[in-house]
Amino acid sequence: MLKNIVLAGFMGTGKSEVARELSRLLGMRVFDIDREIETSQQKSISEIFSCYGEDYFRQIETAAILKFSSEQGVIISTGGGAVLREENLKALQAHGIIFCLTASSETILLRTAGNKDRPLLQCVDRQARITELLTARQPLYEKAGIMIDTEGKTPFEIANEIIRIIP
């Protein structure tokens, strides 16, 4: 069975860009969980958070992950919080190999600057928020899959690093 390539990792680590690069290099289809949620809900991620709250978002995120994890031979780009639920990881791991993209909090701060569609980062002190969330989630990312450092690398270089690892 052809395994899925799953990209996980914190906001701003470049999952969507790397997914597109992998798709170009390998000719595999990409499912971006956040984009699939936005299409099915007809709302942006920020609108979903503000209208229904984070718990509701996590529920539909799990439903989308369960749906797309059953595909074969595709690339799945997840949202940064996908690692929060064990059932998400179990489903993704069942048919796929998970790569967790990493970057320093300074790089994440730079890469997420100016992006208004990250409700968890809409606060006064974004640096503190990023550090707080990263610290809490770091053990979850480490447990979820193979860590890939993205610091100073292009999406093309990161995609090739992943391609060299996949069996």
Q: Which positions lie near ligand S3P, rule CB under 6 A?
A: 11, 15, 34, 45, 79-81, 118-120
Distance CA 64, CA 13 (A): 21
Nearer to ligand S3P, 2 or 123 (CB): 123
CB of 48 to ligand S3P, least distance (A): 9
Query: Which residue, 67 or 118, has its beta carbon nearer to ligand S3P?
Result: 118
- Do 24 and 165 form a contact (C-beta atoms < 8 A)? no
Distances (CA, A) of 83 to 7, 26, 102, 113, 143: 11, 25, 13, 23, 9
Secondary-structure percent of the chain, ordered helix, strand, coil, rounded to 5: 60, 15, 30
Q: What are the tokens at 165?
A: 């690892």
Beta strands in the chain (DSSP E): 4-9, 30-32, 75-77, 96-102, 146-149
Q: How far is the CB of 81 from ligand S3P (least distance, A)?
A: 3
- Asked if residue 7 lies in contact with residue 77, where contact means CB atoms within 8 angstroms, the answer is yes
CB of 5 to ligand S3P, least distance (A): 16
Between 72 and 105, CB nearer to ligand S3P? 105
69, containing H or E segment? helix 54-69
14 vs 27, which CB is nearer to ligand S3P? 14
* Residue at shortest CB range from ligand S3P: 79
For the bound state, the minimum distance from the C-beta of residue 167 to ligand S3P, rounded and expressed in Å, comes to: 26
Closer residue to ligand S3P (CB): 118 or 126: 118
**Least distance to ligand S3P, CB of residue 97, Å:** 19
